[in-house]
Amino acid sequence: MYANIIVDISHEQLDRTFQYRIPEALSQTVTEGSQVVIPFGKGNRRITGYVIERTSKAELDESRMKDIICVEEKAVAVESQLIRLAAWIRSRYGSTMIQALRTVMPVRDKVKSQEKTWYYLNVSREMAQKTLEESKRKKYRARERVLAAFLERTEWSREDLMDQLKISQAALKPLLERGILREEKTKKERGRVKAYGAAAPVTLNAQQKTVADDICHRYDAGDFKPSLIHGITGSGKTEVYMEIMEHVISQGKAVIVLIPEIALTYQTVMRFYKRFGDRISMVNSRLSAGEKYDQFMRAKRGEIDIMIGPRSALFTPFSNLGMIIVDEEHESAYKSEYTPRYHARETAIERMRIAGGMVILGSATPSVEAYYRALKGEYRLYRLTERASQGSSLSKVWVVDMRKELENGNKSIFSRELEQKITERLSRKEQIMLFLNRRGYAGFVSCRRCGKAVGCPHCDVSLTAHRNGMLVCHYCGYQIPMPKTCPSCGSPYIAGFGLGTQKVEALTAAAFPKARILRMDMDTTSKKGSHQEILSRFFAGEADILVGTQMIVKGHDFKNVTLVGILAADMSLYANDFRSSEKTFQLLTQAAGRAGRGEKPGDVVIQTYSPDHYSITAAMEQNYEAFYEREILYRKMLHYPPAGHLLALLLTSQREEQAKKLIKMYAALIRAQYNGMIDTIGPVAAPVSKIRDTYRLLLYMKSDRIEPLMQARSSIEQAFEEETGREAAIQFDFS
């Protein structure tokens, strides 16, 4: 046996491997991830390297191959663990070892570190407080906001001030001149944040305490079975996490907290900083590779105990990692959209299995997978059933059948119920959120004579109407002016159908002319920082109504919102996906959870064309178990995950004939080789069957066990490698 070894464990050098022989005596101990001592170069210098692969294929002449000297027995480096994790990712999800390694290893910054401007509070807090009062009296609004920010956190980078707080250079100037703030340019410490005034921890209520105590207890006893906390929105899960984190950190261990990017708001992050001070770091997708690398290195050097971030924070190189918390574990953003298409929940569990520690999953609407595993006893299940914050209670939910509205002559997008409640809220100066399910799904233009929708010539999707009169393809950006006649049959009867967020905004403005309205969707938030800006403005009471898509339902705690309206609740039910009922239930429940977070009770109005669907009725009752029981029956009946395993092969090619030929061949191969073990479905055209003139075909493979599917994947990979003259690509995806 031979070992492929890397000697420079940096992102750029990952594909430079050297092959060594594994001597007989070490054949048991050398595995993927082992740190080994090898003779290197002409002088046979002794250096250490990492085994990334064991193989029986010699890449050079046997006589020139050197032996591994020994396995490094000292402390296992975190790199070893990450390489083992990469090996697991490769075999679990399918990719090359290099792709898997690139996923887990931080990218070193080759460019010189950029000079960055920092601002510091240069006077005592009392002095700053006094100046703040003075600014308030004189109505220097901008200055007031600057001072408030520096009272919360004493150092700010220029970017954060500009992006997150919308503070301009001009607002800083007078404070710099008076010596209240100090400016410093530095190349060090990128992305660091320091918070002021440790917040006194809240006293956990009985339910929260039971959960935190039990988890800490099990942690101390070395019982590392993953925990799933099913806690309704606002039940205080974050407080429970923080209590447990404190316990784990006090034992010298580190914690990673995964939060979906969209919920990683300034508000959320500040809660952690206030509790844990500056031994904490955060990464997000807006950081450059270099900034992220710096934060990862701080973790490696032990300068911080906590890393907060989205999916990829999972690979923070803590050598003393004791726990990973996956908040909102049901979020689809936890699954990577690139090869290897790993899922952060499963990968976190594997990482903690390797490192020896616990994973905590939390959600108000657990994924069907996680709940299924919990009921089977693979995870420990905990429940939080009450809202934690004093006086806040679950909101009341009303379901309105929109078919009846139309029968009664109401053609508006607002049911009478919702319209009346909006008017009520406006007069009481309370805030309203209007949530439109799914952007781009509606807004297409179709012909009332031939029924065809106007589509993109390069992609198999319909174009979306924008208010500027253009029709846009959301896959490739293709756009044309709104045609006057149907491109298919020439009839003049073509019109926009359904709703987009822009349209809802316009209709809301028309129906409630006095209301101040903000809109948040992909179009309004594509600019850096704009997401945060819209939220801050709404939070500050600059608008009465926030209209938006998915993004407005995640994790924000708006105390003055007492009404949530959900328009077209069922739109996501008919998506082409076995998870569409689950996603609908999650969205509705999370959206409903936005109302009544403060002292005033909240109302939720769900408008739908399918009021009897179990996703809608269960969301109305806010009854997760009722939803789960119906859903799991369906999954079991059709052998969908988690009751079975599903592997999709996506084959893409510009040459349609070749694509069809290859995928049919692979379908036949699987049927022949795995008869009785794997069911194949298809091949079929992908839901979007063409993107940028590339054809996309799918083959589904289903099995009760995952192993045959992993083997099937290898078989197809091999056949694909051996195919000569191919102009196609393949991708695998486990659901």
Binds 447: which of Zn ion, ligand ADP, none (CB < 5-8 Å by kind): Zn ion
Binds 105: which of ligand ADP, Zn ion, none (CB < 5-8 Å by kind): none
Q: With contact defined as beta carbons under 8 Å apart, do 78 and 297 qualify?
A: no
Q: Does residue 226 have a cis peptide bond before it, meaning omega lies within 30 degrees of 0?
A: no
Give the number of residues in contact with ligand ADP, rule: CB under 6 A: 17
Binds 459: which of ligand ADP, Zn ion, none (CB < 5-8 Å by kind): Zn ion
Out of 375, 406, 489, 681, the residue judged to bind Zn ion by CB under 5 A: 489
Site for ligand ADP in 190-209 (CB under 6 A): 202-205, 208
Could you tell me whether strands 116-121 and 155-157 are parallel, antiparallel, or unpaired per DSSP bridges?
antiparallel
Out of 235, 336, 363, 525, the residue judged to bind ligand ADP by CB under 6 A: 235
Q: How many angstroms separate the CA atoms of 211 and 213, rounded?
A: 6
Q: How many angstroms separate the CA atoms of 640 and 581, rounded?
A: 13
Give the residue with the Cβ less far from ligand ADP, 231 or 500.
Answer: 231
Our finding on whether 210 is near ligand ADP (CB under 6 A) is no
* Residue 212 burial (C-beta neighbours within 10 Å; 0-12, 13-18, 19+): buried
Binds 157: which of Zn ion, ligand ADP, none (CB < 5-8 Å by kind): none
Give the number of residues in contact with Zn ion, rule: CB under 5 A: 14
Give the residue with the Cβ less far from ligand ADP, 242 or 716.
Answer: 242
**Smallest separation (angstroms) from ligand ADP to the CB of 342:** 25
Nearest to 322 by CA among 354, 358, 296, 288: 358
Site for Zn ion in 420-459 (CB under 5 A): 447, 449-450, 456, 458-459
DSSP string, 588-629: HHHHHTTS--SSS--EEEEEES-TTSHHHHHHHHT-HHHHHH
Give the residue with the Cβ less far from Zn ion, 216 or 480.
Answer: 480
Nearest to 438 by CA among 576, 635, 258: 576
Give the residue with the Cβ less far from ligand ADP, 591 or 646.
Answer: 591
Our finding on whether 295 is near ligand ADP (CB under 6 A) is no
**Smallest separation (angstroms) from Zn ion to the CB of 602:** 40
Binds 208: which of ligand ADP, Zn ion, none (CB < 5-8 Å by kind): ligand ADP
Binds 458: which of Zn ion, ligand ADP, none (CB < 5-8 Å by kind): Zn ion
Q: How many angstroms separate the CA atoms of 558 and 597, rounded?
A: 7
**Smallest separation (angstroms) from ligand ADP to the CB of 555:** 7
Pair of tokens at residue 387: 């809202």
Q: How many angstroms separate the CA atoms of 103 and 315, rounded?
A: 8
Binds 478: which of ligand ADP, Zn ion, none (CB < 5-8 Å by kind): Zn ion
Nearest to 433 by CA among 586, 572, 545: 545
**Within 10 Å of residue 471's Cβ, how many Cβ atoms?**
22
Give the residue with the Cβ less far from Zn ion, 413 or 447.
Answer: 447
Could you tell me whether strands 45-55 and 2-6 are parallel, antiparallel, or unpaired per DSSP bridges?
antiparallel
Q: With contact defined as beta carbons under 8 Å apart, do 185 and 117 qualify?
A: yes
The beta strands (E) that lie in 158-219 are given as 181-186
Binds 263: which of Zn ion, ligand ADP, none (CB < 5-8 Å by kind): none
Q: List alpha helices for 444-493, DSSP H.
A: none
Q: Helices 624-637 and 368-375, interaxial angle, to 10°?
A: 90
**Within 10 Å of residue 559's Cβ, how many Cβ atoms?**
14
3-class state of residue 273 by DSSP = helix
Site map 364..403 versus ligand ADP, x via CB under 6 A: ------------------------xxx-------------
Our finding on whether 328 is near ligand ADP (CB under 6 A) is no
Give the residue with the Cβ less far from ligand ADP, 204 or 591.
Answer: 204
Find the Cα–Cα–Cα–Cα dihedral 211, 215, 220, 225, rounded to 10°: 160
Our finding on whether 238 is near ligand ADP (CB under 6 A) is yes
* Residue 715 burial (C-beta neighbours within 10 Å; 0-12, 13-18, 19+): middle
Give the residue with the Cβ less far from Zn ion, 383 or 452.
Answer: 452
Q: List alpha helices for 236-334, DSSP H.
A: 237-249, 266-276, 289-300
**Smallest separation (angstroms) from ligand ADP to the CB of 211:** 11
Binds 233: which of Zn ion, ligand ADP, none (CB < 5-8 Å by kind): ligand ADP
Give the residue with the Cβ less far from Zn ion, 238 or 462.
Answer: 462
Q: What is the DSSP letter of 334?
A: G
Binds 499: which of Zn ion, ligand ADP, none (CB < 5-8 Å by kind): none
Site for ligand ADP in 643-702 (CB under 6 A): none
Pair of tokens at residue 237: 């899960």
Pair of tokens at residue 35: 């740190």
Binds 231: which of ligand ADP, Zn ion, none (CB < 5-8 Å by kind): ligand ADP
Applying CB under 5 A, the span of 20-28, 414-422, 481-489, 602-610 interacting with Zn ion comes to: 481-489
Our finding on whether 437 is near ligand ADP (CB under 6 A) is no
Binding site for ligand ADP (CB under 6 A): 202-205, 208, 231, 233-239, 388-390, 557
Binding site for Zn ion (CB under 5 A): 447, 449-450, 456, 458-459, 473, 475-476, 478, 486, 488-489, 491
